[in-house]
């Protein structure tokens, strides 16, 4: 076979394989995204469309009434609650956790034992701790309060922040800090002037994942709040009825809860692997 | 054993060309070394021969069969990688046996062949170990073992010795040469180290910027370089290049340097350089072709040079000295005790038979020891 | 790493500097101790007492609660349900994740977009995922039944979240949908990190794609894979949100997992001490499982 013919056969085979892979990729994406699409489409449909049988596959016209209802009824404030609680706990967890991570990374404080204990905290099933913590909170009077939930999320995000930031800090060449020390900085200054700026991408990525964990939590919010403080995941379950569900509200509230996360993912593509796998694979 | 023929090969990575048009014709059983500085395209060329990359243009023929569209596993070639690429979770035995097992060779045959290869390389005692338990040199042997056990028709080596320390490298060089003598297959070897190239090759292919600068037997390239690049690449320490002008004094051609120093060229060079009188040239001489006067080497072809030594670098077996030639710092390789300390004044003798004259505008060598007889 | 004495600081500063590494971990560790150790200790104490809805008997009751554990059929059924879920969902997620990772392993334009999109299910709140599938599975208005109707040619009105024979498939579908992308992402990253010269050498040696996958790729990603399985396995064990959204443990107690049962006992029935004992049982079982898993991982190495 001539060289040119051989090359043509090669590229044709390649093309088929690529086409097949694209087909599979698109099919997978459709299957995985369909439920999300459905959720979004219900949130935009009129009651007639929602309760049509056979179901309407797309809203005839996009209307935001379902969302408006949430805002009017005041249910949408739960989203603000979630934002406030998740945001504050993230800030707190990031600050304390990064400090701790620095100590672990540079000084190996507490050695392996401390590190292992910290990571094991992440493995504890919430159901085990939620009960005694509830009793503690009752005793402290922290049930159904903002600060109670914030502190709880902070505590449960700390292991993750410490673990991740330790990895990111270890990646920073130590010479930078040593040269700052030689130049006369105190340890605190080294932290603030050298470490934080160098680790800022890691800080950002970890912060977003921490936020998402707190944002999405259900069980702690369910147990620790009553009527004063409600986060959006709990609110969604209020719309489940015995026989009938407030579908439009379920969908609209879910969309409000899911949308910020999608935006975060768009920004964070590069850090997805490391954030989700907790550094098991350096991504 | 296979004949390899490459015609017009071109390969680019995106907008960056790696190989810009290479023609090679390698007969059976020859040991060919592809050598050149980083980025010259030698690894790309090798990987294209292996089938790990596709050529953009040109053909690759093994034993007359065009293999451009043939997958690596079907080309019947073997390859030794720079980082050994040993399968970390398999024993040495299984590593070597891998290719045989992939081709469904019966167990008895596998055992025999693996043992044969292991004996040839002296690693029989290591067969049960895991790669991570081996030293660098041992791993390299296993990698070679994996390649030779399969009786492929073409063997490719991608800088196999780069990761070894100097002493091991010397040792393994000898092993590879001995291997080629024993099994006699066609081998293509990539390296950036010119010593490896010189000692191992039947033929050197020197590449620069994706093109072949010169190819031929090692000594051919060493004594009769075609370009300045070739002259400077081979040989360690590398050749001295000093700008000068070519003048004629009476019947003799003379090389005159910036500071007025002059060296007379032997008559044999006159024919080749006839048309260059009065012009600028670059004078090239290897450090080992400069010696100290009085060491009993004086011949007609040796021209004297009076210099002041600036720097002395003894290595134990030779002493390298640096002095000014014209406006350039030049290196000479002298006997151990020729010079004691810098600042000494010395008379050196330059072997003018072996010098190389280069045209500064084209960087082509216009006169070397071989062109003495023929006209330019 | 030694600290540098800083002459220009006050004694306070020098103290801070020298003990920097302890000061800096102090707040985090204190919080963790409060939220980590305290619950465990307290749970242990309470489990030896006899507190429930009716009475608050804080006297030492010995192993009263623990003995009750063993005769509680509902408890063991819930454990059974939990193990069933782990045993079925985990392999599905693993294999599907592997296949997806292989699909996206080689370069292809737009791959990053596909990956980002495919990861979205994992990022939404599990309770929202559950709610979403509840909508999808609705017997009259949900598209699942609609599509099934097209395929089978007759209208389907499957009560996914109510009929006992359909609840588990529903749960599996929702759970696998949400978490396969997690496995996919981790496996894709691990596979991408495998030294290409290994696969190239194997290719030149004549190995088929299948052989390369099983003998080269799989061993190379083994450690990451086992960690991912461990994380997902533990997560599956404590599954709560998705089931709560779909069936609330029903019909009856058919899909009640250990977490749901514990929640009901603790927060609906207020069987405080009993729940505490259950909590310790769970901790005990999990610790054994984790240690067993870790040991096996060491062995394979």
Give the residue from C30, C123, C240 with the most A CB atoms within 10 Å of its CB, the best one to mutate.
C123
Band (B372; pLDDT cuts 50, 70, 90): low
CB contact (8 A) between residue C24 and residue A39: no
Contacts of A217 in chain C (CB under 8 A): 125
Give the residue from B53, B70, B81 with the most C CB atoms within 10 Å of its CB, the best one to mutate.
B81
Q: How far is C21 from chain A (nearest CA, A)?
A: 5
Residues C28 and C133 in one domain: no
The 10 Å Cβ neighbour count of residue C37 is 12
User: ipTM, 2 decimals?
Assistant: 0.82
Give the pLDDT score at C288.
85
Band (C53; pLDDT cuts 50, 70, 90): low
CB contact (8 A) between residue B66 and residue A7: no
Q: What is the mean pLDDT of residues C219-248?
A: 89
The set of residues, in sequence order, having a beta carbon less than 8 Å from that of A212 and lying 6+ positions away, is A261, A264, C123
Q: Would you say A69 and A127 are in contact if contact means Cβ atoms under 8 Å apart? A: no
Contacts of A100 in chain C (CB under 8 A): 24-25, 27-29
Band (C298; pLDDT cuts 50, 70, 90): low
Q: What is the mean pLDDT of residues B238-254?
A: 90
Residues C263 and C115 in one domain: yes
Residue in chain B closest to C200 (alpha carbons) equals B52
Residue in chain B closest to A14 (alpha carbons) equals B69
The set of residues, in sequence order, having a beta carbon less than 8 Å from that of A225 and lying 6+ positions away, is A143, A144, A149, A231, A234
CA–centroid distance for A59 within its chain: 29
Q: How far is A15 from chain B (nearest CA, A)?
A: 14
The 10 Å Cβ neighbour count of residue A102 is 27
- C268 or B19, greater pLDDT: B19
Burial of B93: CB neighbours in 10 Å, binned 0-12, 13-18, 19+: buried
Residues C39 and C175 in one domain: no
Residues C289 and C257 in one domain: yes
pLDDT per residue as tens, chain A (283 positions): 566 776 777 778 888 888 999 999 999 999 999 999 988 888 888 777 777 766 777 777 778 888 888 888 878 888 889 999 999 999 999 999 999 999 888 888 877 788 878 877 777 777 778 888 888 888 888 899 999 999 999 998 999 899 888 888 888 888 888 888 888 888 888 888 888 888 888 888 889 889 988 999 998 999 898 888 889 888 888 888 755 567 888 888 888 888 888 888 887 777 777 776 666 666 5
The 10 Å Cβ neighbour count of residue B354 is 15
Residues C84 and C23 in one domain: no
Contacts of B68 in chain A (CB under 8 A): 3, 6-7, 10
CB contact (8 A) between residue A3 and residue B54: no
User: And the tokens for C86?
Assistant: 């782990």
All chains having 3 or more CB pairs closer than 8 angstroms to chain A: B, C
Contacts of B81 in chain C (CB under 8 A): 197, 200-201
The 10 Å Cβ neighbour count of residue C58 is 13
Q: How far apart are CA A6 and CA B61, in angstroms?
A: 12
Give the pLDDT score at C3.
45
Q: How far apart are CA A186 and CA A183, in angstroms?
A: 9
Contacts of C107 in chain B (CB under 8 A): none
CB contact (8 A) between residue A96 and residue C31: yes
User: If phi over 0 gives left and psi between -120 and 50 gives alpha, with beta otherwise, what is residue A184?
Assistant: left
CB contact (8 A) between residue B59 and residue A10: no
Q: How far apart are CA A205 and CA A168, in angstroms?
A: 10
- C299 or B222, greater pLDDT: B222
Radius of gyration of chain C (CA): 25
Reduced to 3 states, what is the DSSP secondary structure of residue C117? helix
Band (B289; pLDDT cuts 50, 70, 90): very high
Give the pLDDT score at C54.
67
Task: Report if residue C301 sits inside a domain.
Answer: no
Radius of gyration of chain A (CA): 25
Residue B373 above 70 pLDDT? no
Residues C169 and C31 in one domain: no
User: And the tokens for B87?
Assistant: 């399968």
Task: Report if residue C95 sits inside a domain.
Answer: yes
Query: Which residues is B188 bridged to in the sheet?
Result: B32, B156
Contacts of C195 in chain B (CB under 8 A): 83, 85
Q: How far is A125 from chain C (nearest CA, A)?
A: 6
Residues of the domain holding C279: 68-296
Give the pLDDT score at B14.
85
CB contact (8 A) between residue A3 and residue B66: yes
Of the partner residues A29, A155, A276, the one whose CB lies closest to the CB of residue C31:
A155
Q: Would you say A155 and C31 are in contact if contact means Cβ atoms under 8 Å apart? A: yes
Q: How far apart are CA B362 and CA B112, in angstroms?
A: 57
In this structure, the dihedral spanned by the alpha carbons of residues A186, A187, A188 and A194, taken in order and rounded to 10 degrees, is: 100
Q: What is the mean pLDDT of chain C?
A: 84
Give the pLDDT score at A244.
56
The set of residues, in sequence order, having a beta carbon less than 8 Å from that of A2 and lying 6+ positions away, is B66
Question: Tell me: the pLDDT tens digits for A195-234?
Answer: 888 888 888 888 988 998 899 999 899 989 888 888 988 8
Question: Tell me: the pLDDT tens digits for A91-113?
Answer: 999 999 999 999 888 888 877 78
The set of residues, in sequence order, having a beta carbon less than 8 Å from that of B248 and lying 6+ positions away, is B254, B277
Question: Tell me: the pLDDT tens digits for C64-87?
Answer: 788 888 888 899 999 999 999 999
Give the B window 64-123 contacts with C, CB below 8 Å. Answer: 71-73, 77-79, 81-83, 85, 87-90, 98-99, 102-103
The 10 Å Cβ neighbour count of residue B97 is 24
Q: How far apart are CA C167 and CA C215, in angstroms?
A: 39
The set of residues, in sequence order, having a beta carbon less than 8 Å from that of B209 and lying 6+ positions away, is B20, B39, B40, B41
Q: How many CB pairs under 8 A join B and C?
A: 62
Band (C150; pLDDT cuts 50, 70, 90): confident
Reduced to 3 states, what is the DSSP secondary structure of residue B213? strand
Residue C165 above 70 pLDDT? yes
In this structure, the dihedral spanned by the alpha carbons of residues A121, A122, A128 and A129, taken in order and rounded to 10 degrees, is: 60
CB contact (8 A) between residue C240 and residue A110: no
Q: What is the mean pLDDT of residues B294-318?
A: 84
Task: Report if residue C78 sits inside a domain.
Answer: yes
Containing H/E element for C141? none
- A1 or B321, greater pLDDT: B321
- Tell me how many degrees the CA angle B334-B336-B340 measures, rounded to the nearest 5: 95
Residue in chain B closest to C222 (alpha carbons) equals B89
Reduced to 3 states, what is the DSSP secondary structure of residue C179? helix
Give the pLDDT score at C47.
81
Reduced to 3 states, what is the DSSP secondary structure of residue B366? strand
Residue B332 above 80 pLDDT? yes
Residues C38 and C73 in one domain: no
User: And the tokens for B162?
Assistant: 């780069």
Closest CA relative to residue C109, chosen from A276, B74, A18 = A18
Q: How far apart are CA A244 and CA A239, in angstroms?
A: 9
The set of residues, in sequence order, having a beta carbon less than 8 Å from that of B280 and lying 6+ positions away, is B243, B244, B245, B246, B360
Q: How far apart are CA A79 and CA A253, in angstroms?
A: 8
Question: What is the reported pTM?
Answer: 0.82
Q: Sign of torsion, CA C133 C135 C139 C140? A: negative
Give the residue from B13, B50, B78, B87 with the most C CB atoms within 10 Å of its CB, the best one to mutate.
B87
Q: Would you say B346 and B339 are in contact if contact means Cβ atoms under 8 Å apart? A: yes
CA–centroid distance for B223 within its chain: 13
* Residue B205 half-sphere exposure toward CB, CA atoms < 13 A: 25
Q: What is the mean pLDDT of chain B?
A: 90
- Tell me how many degrees the CA angle C2-A278-C115 measures, rounded to the nearest 5: 140
Q: Would you say C39 and A128 are in contact if contact means Cβ atoms under 8 Å apart? A: yes
User: And the tokens for A149?
Assistant: 């939930």
CB contact (8 A) between residue A7 and residue B69: yes
Question: Tell me: the pLDDT tens digits for B74-121?
Answer: 899 999 998 888 998 889 999 999 989 888 889 999 999 999 999 989
* Residue B11 half-sphere exposure toward CB, CA atoms < 13 A: 27
Give the pLDDT score at A236.
87
Domain extents for chain A? 2-63, 69-276
Closest CA relative to residue A73, chosen from A237, A228, A235, A261 = A235
Give the pLDDT score at B376.
41
Give the pLDDT score at C300.
47
What CATH number has the domain spanning A69-276? Answer: 1.10.3720.10
Residues C36 and C93 in one domain: no
The 10 Å Cβ neighbour count of residue A201 is 11
Give the residue from C17, C115, C131 with the most A CB atoms within 10 Å of its CB, the best one to mutate.
C131
Contacts of B54 in chain A (CB under 8 A): 7, 10
Residues C128 and C273 in one domain: yes
Give the C window 238-267 contacts with B, CB below 8 Å. Answer: none
Give the A window 2-61 contacts with B, CB below 8 Å. Answer: 2-3, 6-7, 9-10
Please state the length of chain A. Answer: 283
Give the residue from A3, A8, A11 with the most B CB atoms within 10 Å of its CB, the best one to mutate.
A3
Q: Would you say A66 and A254 are in contact if contact means Cβ atoms under 8 Å apart? A: no
**What are the phi and psi torsion angles at B152 (to 5°)?**
-75, 170
The total domain count for chain C is: 2
User: And the tokens for B164?
Assistant: 């070894």
CB contact (8 A) between residue C202 and residue B98: yes
**What are the phi and psi torsion angles at A69 (to 5°)?**
-60, -45
DSSP string across A220-231: HHHHH--SS---
Give the pLDDT score at A245.
60
Task: Report if residue C284 sits inside a domain.
Answer: yes
CATH number at residue C126: 1.10.3720.10
Residues C43 and C83 in one domain: no
Question: Tell me: the pLDDT tens digits for C204-227?
Answer: 988 888 899 999 999 989 888 988
Query: Which residues is B256 bridged to in the sheet?
Result: B245, B262
Contacts of A1 in chain B (CB under 8 A): 66, 69
Q: How far is A5 from chain B (nearest CA, A)?
A: 9
Give the pLDDT score at A75.
81
Q: How far apart are CA C129 and CA A39, in angstroms?
A: 10
DSSP string across chain A: --HHHHHHHHHHHHHHHHHHHHHHHHHHHHHHHHHHHHHHHHHTS-HHHHT-SSPPSS-SS---HHHHHHHHHTTTHHHHHHHHHHHHHHHHHHHHHHHHHHHHHHH-TTHHHHHHHHHHHHHS-HHHHHHHHHHHHHHHT-TT-HHHHHHHHHHHHHHHHHHHHHHHHHTS-HHHHHHHHHTT--HHHIIIIIIHHHTHHHHHHHHHHHHHHHHH--HHHHHH--SS---HHHHHHHT--SS---HHHHHHHHHHHHHHHHHHHHHHGGGHHHHHHTTSS--
Band (C57; pLDDT cuts 50, 70, 90): low
Q: Would you say C122 and C182 are in contact if contact means Cβ atoms under 8 Å apart? A: yes
Residue C301 above 90 pLDDT? no
Q: How far apart are CA A141 and CA B256, in angstroms?
A: 99
Q: How far is A210 from chain C (nearest CA, A)?
A: 12
* Long-range CB contact pairs, A108-111, < 8 A, 24+: A109/C21, A109/C22, A109/C25, A110/C25
Q: How many CB pairs under 8 A join A and B?
A: 19
Task: Report if residue C62 sits inside a domain.
Answer: no
Give the residue from A17, A35, A122 with the most C CB atoms within 10 Å of its CB, the best one to mutate.
A35
Q: What is the mean pLDDT of residues B338-357?
A: 88
Contacts of C129 in chain A (CB under 8 A): 35
Q: How far apart are CA C76 and CA C72, in angstroms?
A: 7
């Amino acid at each position: 076979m001539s060289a040119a013919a051989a090359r043509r056969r090669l590229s044709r085979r390649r093309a088929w394989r690529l086409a097949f892979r694209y087909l599979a990729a698109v099919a997978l994406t459709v299957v995985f995204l369909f439920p999300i699409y459905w959720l979004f489409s219900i949130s935009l449909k009129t009651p007639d469309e929602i309760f049509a049988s056979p179901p309407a596959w797309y809203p005839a016209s996009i209307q935001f009434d379902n969302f408006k209802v949430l805002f009017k009824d005041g249910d949408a404030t739960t989203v603000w609650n979630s934002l406030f609680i998740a945001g504050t706990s993230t800030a707190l967890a990031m600050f304390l956790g990064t400090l701790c991570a620095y100590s672990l990374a540079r000084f190996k404080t507490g050695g392996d034992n401390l590190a292992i204990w910290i990571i094991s905290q992440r493995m504890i099933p919430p159901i085990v701790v939620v009960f005694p913590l509830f009793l503690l909170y009752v005793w402290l009077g922290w049930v159904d309060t903002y600060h109670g939930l914030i502190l709880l999320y902070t505590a449960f995000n700390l292991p993750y922040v410490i673990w991740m930031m330790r990895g990111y800090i270890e990646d920073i060449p130590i010479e930078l800090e040593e040269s700052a020390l030689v130049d006369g900085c105190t340890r605190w200054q080294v932290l603030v002037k050298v470490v934080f700026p160098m680790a800022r991408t890691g800080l950002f990525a970890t912060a977003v994942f921490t936020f998402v964990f707190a944002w999405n939590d259900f069980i702690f919010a369910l147990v620790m709040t009553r009527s004063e403080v409600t986060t959006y995941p709990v609110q969604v379950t209020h719309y489940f009825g015995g026989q009938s569900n407030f579908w439009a509200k379920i969908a609209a509230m879910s969309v409000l809860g899911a949308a910020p996360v999608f935006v975060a993912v768009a920004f964070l593509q590069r850090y997805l692997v490391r954030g989700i796998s907790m550094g098991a694979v350096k991504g | 054993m296979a004949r390899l023929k490459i015609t017009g090969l071109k390969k680019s990575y995106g907008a960056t060309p790696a190989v810009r048009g290479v023609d090679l014709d390698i007969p059976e059983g020859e040991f060919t070394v592809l050598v050149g500085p980083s980025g010259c395209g030698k690894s790309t060329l090798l990987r294209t021969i292996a089938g790990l990359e596709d050529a953009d243009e040109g053909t690759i023929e093994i034993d007359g069969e065009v293999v451009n569209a043939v997958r690596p596993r079907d080309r019947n070639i073997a390859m030794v990688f720079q980082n050994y690429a040993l399968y970390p979770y398999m024993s040495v035995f299984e590593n070597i046996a891998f290719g045989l097992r992939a081709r469904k060779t019966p167990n008895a045959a596998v055992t025999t062949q693996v043992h044969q290869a292991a004996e040839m390389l002296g690693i029989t005692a290591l067969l049960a170990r895991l790669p991570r338990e081996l030293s660098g040199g041992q791993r390299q042997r296993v990698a070679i073992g994996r390649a030779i056990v399969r009786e492929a028709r073409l063997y490719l080596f991608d800088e196999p010795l780069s990761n070894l320390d100097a002493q091991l490298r010397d040792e393994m060089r000898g092993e590879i040469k001995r291997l080629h003598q024993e099994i006699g297959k066609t081998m293509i070897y990539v390296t950036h180290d010119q010593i490896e190239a010189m000692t191992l090759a039947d033929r050197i292919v020197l590449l620069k910027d994706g093109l072949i600068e010169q190819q031929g037997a090692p000594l051919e390239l060493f004594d009769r370089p075609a370009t300045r690049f070739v002259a400077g690449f081979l040989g360690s320490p590398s050749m001295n290049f000093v700008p000068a002008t070519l003048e004629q004094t009476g019947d003799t051609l003379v090389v005159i340097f910036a500071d007025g120093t002059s060296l007379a060229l032997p008559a044999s060079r006159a024919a080749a350089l006839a048309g260059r009188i009065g012009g600028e040239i670059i004078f090239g001489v290897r450090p080992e072709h400069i010696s100290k006067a009085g060491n009993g080497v004086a011949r007609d072809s040796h021209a004297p040079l009076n210099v002041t030594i600036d720097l002395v670098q003894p290595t134990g077996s030779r002493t390298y000295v640096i002095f000014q030639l014209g406006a350039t710092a030049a290196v000479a390789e002298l006997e151990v005790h020729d010079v004691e300390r810098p600042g000494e004044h010395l008379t050196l003798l330059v072997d003018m038979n072996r010098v190389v004259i280069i045209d500064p505008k084209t960087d082509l060598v216009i006169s070397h020891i071989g062109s003495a007889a023929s006209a330019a | 790493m030694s600290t540098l004495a800083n002459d220009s600081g006050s004694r306070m500063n020098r103290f801070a500097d020298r003990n920097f590494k302890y000061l800096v971990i102090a707040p985090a560790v204190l919080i963790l101790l409060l939220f980590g150790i305290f619950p465990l200790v307290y749970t242990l104490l309470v489990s030896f007492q006899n507190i429930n809805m009716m009475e608050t008997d804080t006297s030492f009751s010995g192993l009263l609660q623990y003995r009750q554990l063993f005769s509680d059929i509902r408890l063991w059924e819930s454990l059974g349900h939990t193990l069933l879920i782990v045993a079925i969902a985990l392999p599905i997620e693993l294999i599907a994740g592997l296949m997806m990772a292989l699909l996206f392993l080689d370069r292809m334009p737009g791959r990053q977009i596909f990956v980002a999109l495919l990861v979205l299910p994992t990022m939404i709140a599990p309770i929202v995922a559950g709610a979403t599938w509840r909508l999808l599975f609705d017997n009259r208005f949900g598209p699942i039944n609609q599509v099934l109707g097209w395929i089978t040619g007759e209208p389907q009105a499957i009560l996914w979240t109510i009929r006992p024979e359909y609840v588990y498939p529903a749960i599996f579908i929702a759970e696998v949908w949400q978490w396969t992308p997690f496995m996919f992402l981790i496996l894709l990253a691990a596979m991408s990190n495998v030294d290409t010269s290994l696969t190239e050498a194997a290719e030149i040696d004549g190995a088929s794609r299948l052989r390369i996958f099983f003998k080269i790729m799989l061993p190379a990603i083994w450690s990451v894979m086992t960690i991912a399985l461990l994380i997902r396995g533990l997560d599956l064990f404590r599954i709560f949100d998705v089931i709560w959204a779909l069936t609330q443990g029903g019909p009856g107690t058919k899909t009640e997992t250990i977490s749901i049962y514990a929640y009901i006992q603790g927060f609906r029935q207020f069987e405080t001490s009993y729940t505490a004992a259950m909590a310790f049982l769970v901790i005990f079982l999990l610790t054994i499982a984790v240690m067993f898993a870790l040991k096996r991982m060491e062995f394979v190495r």
